[in-house]
Structure 1
Amino acid sequence: MAANRRMLVLRAVVEDYIRSQEPVGSGAVARDHKLGVSSATVRNDMAALEDEGYLVQPHTSAGRVPTQKGYRYFVDRLARMVPLSGAQRKAIDTFLSGSVSLDDALQRAARLLAQITGQVAVVASPSLAKSRLRRLELIGISGRALLVVVITDNGRVAQHTLSLHQDQDLGEDLLAKFSESLNKECRGMTLSKASERLETQSEQVHEAGSRRLLEGLAQVLEGMADEEESSGLYMAGRSQLTRRQTLTVAELAPLLDALEEQVVLMRLMSAQSELSRTHGGVSVAIGSETRTPGLLHASIVTSGYGHATGTDQWHEGTNGQGDGPIAFVGSIGPTHMDYTVTMSAVRAVAAYLTSFLTSGEGEDG
């Protein structure tokens, strides 16, 4: 019973500290949270929580503040995940439904998430490595070069110029025939799988020109699949961090530097989005858990989107298992962020983007 009460005291301290950014005293907890015990009992509980590493007392006469361990326990066990209200979902739907393309939807999603949380929002465009081929077009641009245009199932369009050998004479009719055959053979495959299929086909073709074309196309698709780090990253809300009076210069400067390291952020948040599949749709990394020096005083909340199997992702607010997320949406802020609001908002925006892609609105973006 005492252990359960201590955890309620921990929840009260975390919630009060998030709201005020001031050390929380036992009197305020006893008065405001109706735990049915005296402030002396709460004080003893807070001392026990400090001994266990969940709280720390910055000054002898001050109240307590949560540690990273305290925030971790709060997020894992105590945070009450409150679904967004109908009005909030409608507001998100209204703001994002005006998108005219996939890129526009991702930019809007980043701005909206930053507005809701007051923190930095990061949204990645779908990775080519995890995308599936919807259509491939071959366009002759000179006597010795082709433009290879790849359109994926999530609306991304990638282009690559392929040089031809001198003995390759490919007219429009032959290119159209090739395109039709390739689309029939590879539609719905990942780019890596499509590359493997073309490589296999090239080994079975005797005509030199066709064989070289298949080999070249296989290399193009494999190269596109390897461009994991080049996915677009949309970011909003950095200026809001600089206006936070609760962040010291020592905390803010490395955080801003970390935001400039986009490749590091991509890897970190992509890995976290994979974890979100088994963590209720969101994954939270706090302080040193990010393994990123610039984020020692920050937390990231991440969710994957796309390729989910749920039938009503937007209204349920969860991501299905499917083939795993194809990209991520996340929020970065101080460790004393409002986790409940941030987790709900990240999950809702991710679910909307999944709906946007699966409904086909993102096509040809």
Structure 2
Amino acid sequence: MGTTDERKLQILDAIVQDYVATREPVGSKSLLERHDLGVSAATVRSDMSVLEDEGLIVQPHTSAGRVPTDKGYRAFVDHIARIKPLSSPERRAIESFLADAGDLDELLGRTVRLLAQVTHQVAMVQYPLRRQARVRHIELVRLGETMLLLVLITESGRVDQRTISLAAPRDVEFYEALRGDLLRATIGGQVTELDEALAGVVATRPVEDQLAAGEVASALGAMFDERREERIVLAGAGNLARSAADFSREVELLLDVLEEQLVLLRLLGDMNPEPGAVEVRIGGEIRDAALGQAALVGAGYGSGAHLAILGPRRMDYVAGISNVHALARYISRYLQ
């Protein structure tokens, strides 16, 4: 890259920094006052004119300074913004906040709260389904003659319970034997792959036991189905109020998007960052009409799941990229 191009990127960098910090259009005079650019005012004005001609910045109204366009933010992210290593105090603060999380649910909940706090954006994390949905233990507890409690524990440490009413009473010994068969058929298996195993348990029982065994297998299958559903945890929706000036009318649309889990899952599913990398999508790149004024910064972890922040295009990309990257790596280590 030539010296002129490097200087233009330096000026673009300064414009993005100032616009992020002030929310005000940036002029050549303020650039010279705030940054040691090492060039004359005439050169800055000339370079800003070139940046405008290239569609990287735009003048929102007459006699105003310039603001970055989507193309300008993209150039900033691609050529200037880099993953900035967190300082030792920042790393220790993250590790201290997350280290004593009891299970995956708690870890992901803490992660999105921390990410929303440090970036001042909406944070979201997608569950690593295949990891969370591996069976660790199943328990059958007879509560009465026709009442049974099913307990499902998966590798994430999550515990699900369901009470079912039985068509006919069976003794404790029956359910102890059935529990043993279920454990042998399902333990260590993924809930998305256990339909045949459950059917096999029922089929191998004596004919007179198949109705009762089928009741339990059906209820357990329903619990497995619940674990098949993709999930997202959100935090920081209140940060949108701080960004209202950036989104204007789009804030209401964005709040609607945050209520639609399937839309958010699609947004994250569309992202495909390289391992250990962070992907940034800006404005129209998100391909959602409600997010035309937004930016999405995400990283993958675990079994194809993603961690991301969503906010205005005028966000601190350097801090966002660094924190998303660091927290995705932390969760990846937790899942190993």
1:77 aligns with 2:79: yes
Identity %: 40
Alpha-carbon distance in 1 for matches of 2:210, 2:266 = 37
Alpha-carbon distance in 2 for matches of 1:63, 1:117 = 26
- Residues 85/219 of structure 1: CA separation in 2 closer, same or farther (3 Å cut): same
**TM-score, normalised to structure 2's length?**
0.82
The one-character-per-residue Cα deviations of 1:334-359 (angstroms, maximum 9, x if unpaired) are 1111011112222323333344455x
Question: 2:294 matched to which residue of 1?
Answer: 298
Q: CA deviation at 1:56?
A: 1.3
- Residues 334/232 of structure 1: CA separation in 2 closer, same or farther (3 Å cut): closer
Alpha-carbon distance in 2 for matches of 1:101, 1:244 = 33
**Paired residues for 1:168-247 under 5 Å:** 170-200=170-200, 202=202, 205=204, 207-209=206-208, 211=210, 213=213, 217=217, 220-221=220-221, 224-225=224-225, 228-229=228-229, 231=231, 233-235=233-235, 237-244=236-243, 246-247=245-246
Name the SS of the counterpart of 1:332 in structure 2: strand
- Residues 225/78 of structure 1: CA separation in 2 closer, same or farther (3 Å cut): farther
Question: 1:317 matched to which residue of 2?
Answer: none
Q: CA deviation at 1:37?
A: 4.0
CA contact (8 A) 1:126 1:154 kept: no
Question: 1:324 matched to which residue of 2?
Answer: 304
Specify which of 275, 280, 285 is matched with residue 272 of structure 2: 275
CA contact (8 A) 1:129 1:224 kept: no
Alpha-carbon distance in 1 for matches of 2:109, 2:226 = 24
CA contact (8 A) 2:141 2:149 kept: yes
Alpha-carbon distance in 1 for matches of 2:92, 2:267 = 31
**TM-score, normalised to structure 1's length?**
0.76
CA contact (8 A) 2:58 2:68 kept: yes
**Paired residues for 1:81-96 under 5 Å:** 81-96=83-98
Name the SS of the counterpart of 1:110 in structure 2: helix
**Paired residues for 1:337-352 under 5 Å:** 337-352=315-330
Alpha-carbon distance in 1 for matches of 2:247, 2:331 = 34
Q: CA deviation at 1:116?
A: 0.9
Q: CA deviation at 1:90?
A: 0.7
CA contact (8 A) 1:195 1:218 kept: no
Alpha-carbon distance in 2 for matches of 1:282, 1:165 = 54
- Residues 190/73 of structure 1: CA separation in 2 closer, same or farther (3 Å cut): farther
Q: CA deviation at 1:245?
A: 6.8
Q: Which has the larger radius of gyration?
A: 2
**Paired residues for 1:25-64 under 5 Å:** 25-29=27-31, 33-64=35-66
Letter in structure 2 aligned against 1:159:
Q
CA contact (8 A) 1:195 1:217 kept: no
- Residues 138/206 of structure 1: CA separation in 2 closer, same or farther (3 Å cut): closer
Gaps of 5+ in 1: 308-322, 359-365
Letter in structure 2 aligned against 1:275:
N
- Residues 252/46 of structure 1: CA separation in 2 closer, same or farther (3 Å cut): same
Name the SS of the counterpart of 2:272 in structure 1: helix
Name the SS of the counterpart of 1:7 in structure 2: helix
Question: 1:21 matched to which residue of 2?
Answer: 23
Alpha-carbon distance in 2 for matches of 1:176, 1:35 = 77
- Residues 41/299 of structure 1: CA separation in 2 closer, same or farther (3 Å cut): same
Alpha-carbon distance in 2 for matches of 1:25, 1:279 = 39
Q: CA deviation at 1:247?
A: 3.3
Counting matched residue pairs gives 333
Letter in structure 2 aligned against 1:348:
A
Letter in structure 1 aligned against 2:298:
T
- Residues 173/251 of structure 1: CA separation in 2 closer, same or farther (3 Å cut): same
Alpha-carbon distance in 1 for matches of 2:210, 2:246 = 61
- Residues 232/143 of structure 1: CA separation in 2 closer, same or farther (3 Å cut): farther
- Residues 20/130 of structure 1: CA separation in 2 closer, same or farther (3 Å cut): same
Alpha-carbon distance in 1 for matches of 2:300, 2:154 = 18
Q: CA deviation at 1:3?
A: 3.6
Q: CA deviation at 1:36?
A: 4.5
Question: 1:353 matched to which residue of 2?
Answer: 331
Q: CA deviation at 1:300?
A: 2.4
Alpha-carbon distance in 2 for matches of 1:297, 1:148 = 47
Letter in structure 2 aligned against 1:55:
I
